[in-house]
Amino acid sequence: MKILKLKLTNCYLIIVESRYILVDTGYEWEWDAFQKGLEELNVRISDIDYLLITHHHDDHSGLITNLIDVNPKIRVIMHHLCSDYLKLGKHVHPSKFWHINKRISFILAIKAKSDKKWTHSFPIYLGRDSDIIIKSDTQLKDIGIKLAGRIIETPGHSMDQIALILDNGICICGDTASNFLHFAGLKYGLISIDNWEDFYQSWEKIIDSNVTIIYPAHGKPFDVIKLKKNLRKNKKENMVVYKGN
């Protein structure tokens, strides 16, 4: 597996019979960095057969249209809710969601004021007939991918979140968990939570899936033991309610 590290988001390239599955894309403004990263890994966009989007947020879906323009044969794999949300071009949240604690809420407020690129929007993707839509936990072989593993639903951070679990014990989790901002008390959680109970149930689901190592979208890979030790360490009473859509 090859890891394409952009400024804030990790994208993963999994080889299948000399071709690739790409997991997530980064922000729309990272196109040049994305292409440079692929060159350094000796991968061409024409080598990519599948693009798995773990959820619709801008740092995961921003380059879908760029990639398809270069290689129209890429098939996009995504949750059925993700397919709907990508048509809107912006983050979708429930009427209220949570920043995981006050420190994170403060950091996000500063970032929102200082980073003009951070708009939570992305190029609209209307979908194509070739898309593979995930409606429940799905074996890769059942969608024509010759790789031992499965895609599971892991809502909580976002209702359309999915994760890729390979039979060798690797989990590419998107934003189901993270490994950054520990100084701010994330404890392997995420900066925002759409559904608090779903979030930790998704952790439990991963823990029960014979996973050994987790590759997050943010931060370095880590042992599943970290999830076990931090399960429900972030308390709902410490979260900050935030107004959604």
- State the maximum Cα–Cα separation within the chain, in Å, rounded to a whole number: 49
Model pLDDT for residues 31-53, shown as the tens digit of each residue = 999 999 999 999 999 999 999 99
With vertex at residue 50, the alpha carbon angle to CA 45 and CA 56, rounded to the nearest 5 degrees, is: 100
- 35 C-beta neighbours (distance < 10 Å), count: 15
Residue 16, strand partner residues: 19
Q: Domains, the chain, ranges and CATH? A: 2-243 (3.60.15.10)
CA distance 92 to 138: 24
AA identity, residue 33: A
pTM above 0.85, yes or no: yes
Residue 223, strand partner residues: 213
Cα distances from 181 to residues 71, 117, 187, 189, 238, in angstroms, run: 35, 20, 8, 9, 16
DSSP string, 96-112: EEEESSHHHHHHHHHHH
Pairing label, strands 213-216, 170-174: parallel
Model pLDDT for residues 93-144, shown as the tens digit of each residue = 999 899 999 999 999 999 999 998 889 999 999 999 999 999 999 999 999 9
Phi and psi (nearest 5°) for 13? -115, 120
Phi and psi (nearest 5°) for 30? -100, 20
Model pLDDT for residues 140-181, shown as the tens digit of each residue = 999 999 999 999 999 999 999 999 999 999 999 999 999 999
DSSP string, 58-87: HHHHTTHHHHHHH-TTPEEEEEHHHHHHHT
3-state DSSP assignment of residue 10: strand
Phi and psi (nearest 5°) for 212? -115, -35
